[in-house]
Structure 1
Amino acid sequence: MTTPRVLLDGLGIGESPRWHDGRLWFCNWGDDEVIALDPDGRAEVVFSEPEVGAHSIDWLPDGRMLIVPKNTDRGRLLRLEPDGSLVPHADLSGLPSGFNEIVVDGRGNVYVNGADFDFLPFLEKAMADGMDTPLHERPDFVPGYIALITPDGRARQVADGIAFPNGMVVSPDNRTLIIAESFAGTLTAFDIAPDGSLSNRRTWADGLGPDGISMDSEGAVWTSVGERDVARVREGGEVLERVELDRGAFACMLGGADGRTLFVVAAEWNPFDPFGGPRTGQVLAMDAPAPRAGWPGH
């Protein structure tokens, strides 16, 4: 691995990085915008609607972007049409609320996850109580879920009991979904059935601090570890590579022309005022030993 280089700084908090159409796209929390970044560091604001507050993004096979909005009064999952209009994507009335992360697999299935509780007040109370109890074992914790939206627009829940769901990846053969359970420090895997349902839940790797994740062609996953590092991890938990950062890693994404650049969105995290004070958000880039594979990122 090479030393991380700063491609862009002065951001709020970058999240949901995706390699798409030759650029790195990500949500810039705090400024309620989506930025597309060239490999040489030239940035363009491609979506900016404060009343939406783009929280997480991915793309349908036909190129339309899906947006998980921060402001759910506009809808819990939006689709950006070619004419620039935003429309609700599918009937989600039967699903729990609180969408967080999204991934679209190679068959056009959309997986979203979330948990129906207010994260920042929950964390503030846990810190005031002394953090003696693991977050996912607190009595006020609400377990998360994974939901599936198939290409025909039908939506249903396919997994529950997730210890604060975050980033997800789908393997290149569309047969395995891995999700970051951030509060448990675990990457959890499921088998994907032909109809998109999930089964055979199992621990893929633990002892981590996972948030947004990315898979490479050797089946390893890049994820955050601890408070500041990122690591390339093999199934079972073996750490193959580890990179120290000077601030917290919120998500990883493999991309670049050959898929061998690891992009990391990182920032200092202040749970009491996440978007106040100094703007510490950065996009970092470094060479990776194996190219990206699976989804997101195709």
Structure 2
Amino acid sequence: MSRETNTAIDGFAYLECPRWHDDRIWFADFYTYRVYSAAEDGSDLRVEAEVPNQPSGLGWLPDGRLLVVSMRDALLLRREPDGTLGTHADLSGHVEGHPNDMVVDAGGRAFVGEFGFDLMGGQPLEPAVLLRVDPDGAVTTVADELWFPNGSVLTDDGVLLVCETFGNRVTAFDVSEDGTLGNRRTWAEFGQPPTHRDLGDALTQVVVASDGCCLDAEEALWIADAVGERVIRVHEGGEISEEIATGTGVFACMLGGVDGRTLFMCAAPDFHEDARKNAREGSLLTARVEVPHAGRP
């Protein structure tokens, strides 16, 4: 099935981490250093926060305060009711690379992934950790040996699904009431984990570079394939039931809109920092799908 895609908004550097919240689509732009929100059709654009050390993952505490990952200083920031940003948690002692995407549960616990190595500097690939940040700002490492933990979702029955961009897989964990993770297992597998540590060689082994993702009401994941110029709909076990080719790089996606059936996609020609900083070719694409949003975010 082919689907029509439309450009809701463009002229950005590099968009990531789209979220549907308060009847608006929210997203981070890495290299204009801002968090934005807009109406479903891309109109009424607002700057929600300015994050000079590069915004990434977004989520909300139960009281409605925004959480945003600040990548380059490895902080999780919190926006107060007056709009000011303060430190919610310092992640710097827990990560080897930039913290990146995250998902926040109904109680305000944030699960944050990280690169594990200097991606833009071309360092050798290294495994990374997954952090849990509790509502009081306490930071705990809850999983390790992940190959670039990236987009994550929480299902309605308490399972955390983590896309491993360089790992050719989605990994699942059961989340206990106290936030610990157990019963680690492979939810979907697209190929073998990397055997090369050189970044260029490792990229040749990636079958699906699972980046940002979202869950639908049939417990399928829409996943942005960061090297495949597509989003794919994946079921437990790894079956791909649909592919939407975008004709450009796509790095994150989110179901939202008034009926939960608008698929928002963050697109750019590539993910290379120097190129994206010096151009305004990032856009937010949309497509309509049948099965609505579920889970978190």
Q: TM-score range by the shorter chain?
A: 0.7 to 0.9
Name structure 2 gaps, 5 residues minimum.
191-207
Deviates more, 1:163-172 or 1:99-108: 99-108
Query: Structure 1 CA distance, aligned partners of 2:136 and 2:51?
Result: 30
RMSD after superposition: 1.9
**Match for residue 69 of structure 1?**
70
Q: Deviations over 1:172-193 (max 9, x none)?
A: 12x2001110012211111111
Query: How far apart, in 1, do the equivalents of 2:90 and 2:233 lie?
Result: 37
Letter in 2 for 1:89: H
Distance 1:43 1:119, change over 3 A: farther
Q: What is the identity, as a one-letter code, of the residue corresponding to 2:85?
A: L
Per-residue Cα deviation, 1:145-182 (whole angstroms, up to 9, x for no partner): 11112234432110000101111100012x20011100
Structure 2 counterparts to residues 201-220 of structure 1, below 5 A = 201-207=184-190, 208-220=208-220
Distance in 2 between the 1:282 and 1:92 partners?
Answer: 29
Q: Tell me the amino acid that sits aligned with residue 86 of structure 1.
A: L
Note the alpha carbon deviations across 1:97-141, whole angstroms, 9 max, x for none.
Answer: 53111110123211111134211112xx6xxxxxxxxxxxxxx32
Which letter maps to 2:211? Answer: D
Mapped to 2, the partners of 1:51 and 1:260 lie a distance apart of 33
Deviation at 1:12, TM superposition (A): 0.9
Name the stretch that deviates more: 268-277 or 283-292. Answer: 268-277
Scaled by the length of structure 1, what TM-score is found? 0.87
Return the match for 2:165 from 164, 182, 193: 182
Contact 2:34 2:49 in 1 (8 A): yes
| Maintained 8 Å contact 1:66/1:80 | yes
Give yes or no for the alignment of 1:144 onto 2:134.
no
| SS of alignment partner, residue 275 of structure 1 | helix
Once residues 69 and 228 of structure 1 are traced to their aligned partners in structure 2, the CA distance between those partners, rounded to angstroms, is 27
Moved over 3 A (4+): 90-94
Alignment correspondent of 1:172: 156
Matched with 1:30 is 31
Flag the 1:144–1:275 CA change in 2: closer, same or farther, 3 A: same
Count of residue correspondences: 277
CA offset digits 1:1-20 (Å, max 9, x no partner): 63111111121111010001
Mapped contact 1:33–1:45 kept (Cα < 8 A): no
Q: Structure 1 residue 286: deviation in Å?
A: 0.9
Amino acid at match of 1:119: L
**Residue 247 of structure 2 corresponds to which residue in structure 1?**
246
TM-score between both structures, scaled by the size of structure 2: 0.87
**Any residues of structure 2 matched to 1:76-87 within 5 Å, and which?**
76-87=75-86
Q: Which residue of structure 2 aligns with residue 4 of structure 1? A: 5
Cα separation, partners in 2 of 1:113 and 1:50, compared to 1, 3 Å: closer
1:121 is aligned to: 121
Shift of 1:265: 0.6
2:142 aligns with one of 151, 158, 170: 158
**Contact 2:70 / 2:77 at 8 angstroms: preserved in 1?**
yes
Question: Which SS does the other structure have where 2:236 is aligned?
Answer: coil
Residue aligned with 1:274, SS: helix
Contact 2:8 2:285 (C-alpha < 8 Å) held by counterparts: yes
Contact 1:94–1:156 (8 Å) recurs in 2: no
Give the C-alpha shift of residue 50 in structure 1. 5.3
Query: Which residue of the partner structure matches residue 223 of structure 1?
Result: 223
Q: CA deviation at 1:281?
A: 1.1
Give the distance between the partners of 2:69 and 2:19, measured in 1 at CA.
14
* Pair 1:46 & 2:47 matched: yes
The answer to whether the 8 Å contact 2:75/2:90 transfers is no
Q: Specify the alignment match of 2:204 in structure 1.
A: none
Contact 2:114 / 2:128 at 8 angstroms: preserved in 1? yes
Residues 214 and 223 in structure 1, CA contact (< 8 A), matched pair in contact too? yes
1:109 matched to 2:109:
yes
Seq. identity, %: 41
In structure 1, the residue corresponding to 2:276 is in which secondary structure? coil
Residue 278 of structure 1 and its aligned partner are, at CA, apart by: 4.2
